[in-house]
Structure 1
Amino acid sequence: MQSNSIVNTYRINKALLSVSVCICILVFQSGFNKLYSQDRIEIGGFVGASYYLGDLNPSKQFNNSSLALGGVGRYVIDDRYAVKGSLTMARLKGSYHENDIVFPEGNVEYSFDRPIGDAAIQLEFNFLSYDHWFDKNSNWTPYVSVGLGTTAYKRFGTEPENYSEETVFILSLPFGAGLKYKLNNRFRVGLEWSFRKTFVDDLDVVGHNLPINPNDPYGFGSNNGVHNNDWYSFAGVMVTYSMFKRKGQCNGGFKR
């Protein structure tokens, strides 16, 4: 039963990765084929909250939140598409309290607090025409984003002969939604809530000689098939500065 669950999870993760890559390729191609009105680069910063979702926190949003800080760069393809790169430093926290369940060996408690680094590149799709050269009222839009990323953290050995730690980089699938607003010709502000799907199950494991197994916190003797890979999330505010003026082609007598 457990092996079937692991195989099914692997297949689901592989399918999600394949779909995400295909979406990025198709939308990138569509966006670059219709490059006509904007050629603009934005740089700025992000400040918000980070939190963990996994075996020790299956569903509580913003539980044990920590401060997240980062930098953002955006290349505007046109009024509908943009490519965003981000670097974020954050902490992930989680805890298991003894009052959740009583173990035969007595009350136990476990918590973790792990710093991470996150790097991602995402394609943004605007639901409304945003900052279009011809429409002076296109100063806001909701949007969605999807892409690829990597997470850096220190992984701890759990075998008796290996208690050392090493920095590893793992694959993540970022996706989210937000709202952009153009303050003036140079500054933009945005609200975004995004998630990172990882393919590891040890973001909540710190050190060795653990009082409980985070992958089986209730001692049932089997891993949770739903949360056998850890997630984390960012929610916060972005402020960016547009560095370059528009460039474009002449079309029917109008210069874009």
Structure 2
Amino acid sequence: MKKYSSILLILIICALNTQDLKAQFRFSNLFGGKDKPRKNKLFEPNSNVSLGIGTSSYFGDISPYNRFLQSTVNGMRWNVNFNFTRQLSPTFGLRFGLTYARISGDDNYLEGVKGYEANFIRNLHFRNDIKELSITGQYDFVRTSRSYLRRASIIPYIFGGVGVFAHDPVAKPQASLYGNDWVRLQPLHTEGQGLPGYPNAPYSLISVSFPVGVGVKYRLNRNWDLGVELSYRYTLSDYLDDVSGNFANSADLQAQSPLAASMGNRSLEKIAAHTGKDRTQGVINYLTAKGFYDPASPYDPFTLTSIPGFSDKTDLRGNPKYNDSYLLTTVKLIYHIPNKIKCPVVR
């Protein structure tokens, strides 16, 4: 019954539209005028939606910018995204996007890399799941005349805009002491943020990003495209990795909790919590080069109370000059939403 009711409703709407057109025709003839065909629009605005999946790479204090290729590969993780685009002109569209991306980094990737010995000794790692809402403008290099149905087979484009995202960095503690579960880092005040005697407040878990990128769309059929996209997000946060400023005094973190002290300074951990690698030889090599260890009188370096340069509020833990960012690559399936629902022909 519902099926027939729906068909009847469609037929009534079509009939009313037909009668309306006839009425307009007769009304114009009363004044001696002739019906003039309606001008075709130069372009019909249209909409499309897309679903994509791809990779993500982070750049910051743990994955250095000046090792761009290595940082891109070493910490590569994943992203998924959904976009709604309103094509407003033959070349310009406004896009609303939702992105879920996982980023990560680990100082132990820099073991044995000249110039980054201190990064290895620092021994920090993290993982962060980013939830981003963005609005961007998209410019197509190939015009679409009148309707999306007449779009070109291949359309390259660029885009840029602004986004807001939520994040919450986590890391693994020493398994022998605290188990193997990931723990949230922001509440631990790992650089003394928010503690008495420290200048900075706890960092926000909400921040702003600026997405820019390039892409290309390939037409599959009437309503479907396949897209490939490369996008870069510069952010207003330097704490995607929980690293930015100086070390906190161990005693100040210990007063908060033993876990906070352990996560704030990890330079004397024998086993890398994330990779599971034994760090002994790398630590010995560093201490020997700095004159803190004598191979002729060997001892266990992990019995030290601290390593010079990794101990108090005067020692840099990160680099506050540069904010963090991330790079996304995406392969996506695009569906063009039909503009109008055509009425069936009445026979």
1:81 aligns with 2:92: yes
Residue 101 of structure 2 corresponds to which residue in structure 1?
90
Distance 1:177 1:134, change over 3 A: closer
Residue 121 of structure 1 corresponds to which residue in structure 2?
135
Q: State the AA in 2 paired with 1:85.
A: F
Distance 1:136 1:240, change over 3 A: closer
Residue 20 of structure 2 corresponds to which residue in structure 1?
none
Ranges in structure 2 where 5+ consecutive residues have no aligned partner? 1-40, 170-185, 196-201, 244-259, 268-308, 342-347
Higher normalized helix content (fraction of residues)? 2
Ranges in structure 1 where 5+ consecutive residues have no aligned partner? 1-34, 213-217, 248-256
Q: Deviations over 1:99-140 (max 9, x none)?
A: 44555xx94522111111111111010111246539947222
Q: Which of 195, 205, 223 pairs up with 2:242?
A: 205
Query: Are the counterparts in 1 of residues 52 and 332 from structure 2 also a CA contact under 8 Å?
Result: yes
Q: Tell me the distance in 2 between the aligned counterparts of 1:231 and 1:70.
A: 18
| Aligned residue runs from structure 1 range 206-221, under 5 A | 208-211=263-266, 221=316
Distance 1:246 1:53, change over 3 A: farther
Q: Tell me the distance in 1 between the aligned counterparts of 2:146 and 2:264.
A: 58
Query: Are the counterparts in 1 of residues 56 and 77 from structure 2 also a CA contact under 8 Å?
Result: yes
- How much has 1:45 moved relative to structure 2? 0.4
* Structure with more relative contact order (C-alpha pairs < 8 Å, separation 6 or more): 1
Normalised by the length of structure 2, the TM-score is 0.52
Normalised by the length of structure 1, the TM-score is 0.68
- How much has 1:237 moved relative to structure 2? 0.8
- How much has 1:92 moved relative to structure 2? 0.6
Distance 1:233 1:131, change over 3 A: farther
Query: Are the counterparts in 2 of residues 130 and 139 from structure 1 also a CA contact under 8 Å?
Result: no
Q: How many residues align?
A: 203
| Aligned residue runs from structure 1 range 210-249, under 5 A | 210-211=265-266, 221=316, 224=319, 228-245=322-339
Q: Tell me the distance in 2 between the aligned counterparts of 1:89 and 1:134.
A: 29
Larger CA Rg, structure 1 vs 2:
2
Distance 1:71 1:131, change over 3 A: farther
- How much has 1:96 moved relative to structure 2? 0.7
- How much has 1:224 moved relative to structure 2? 3.9
Q: State the AA in 2 paired with 1:244.
A: P
Higher normalized strand content (fraction of residues)? 1
Matched position secondary structure for 1:38: coil
Distance 1:128 1:66, change over 3 A: same
Aligned-CA RMSD value = 3.2
Distance 1:36 1:145, change over 3 A: same
1:145 aligns with 2:159: yes
Q: Tell me the distance in 2 between the aligned counterparts of 1:133 and 1:88.
A: 29
Q: Deviations over 1:65-120 (max 9, x none)?
A: 112112111111122111111111111111112444555xx945221111111111
Q: Tell me the distance in 1 between the aligned counterparts of 2:336 and 2:148.
A: 18
Moved more, 128-137 or 194-203: 128-137
Q: Percent identity?
A: 22
Q: Tell me the distance in 2 between the aligned counterparts of 1:171 and 1:199.
A: 6
Matched position secondary structure for 1:154: coil
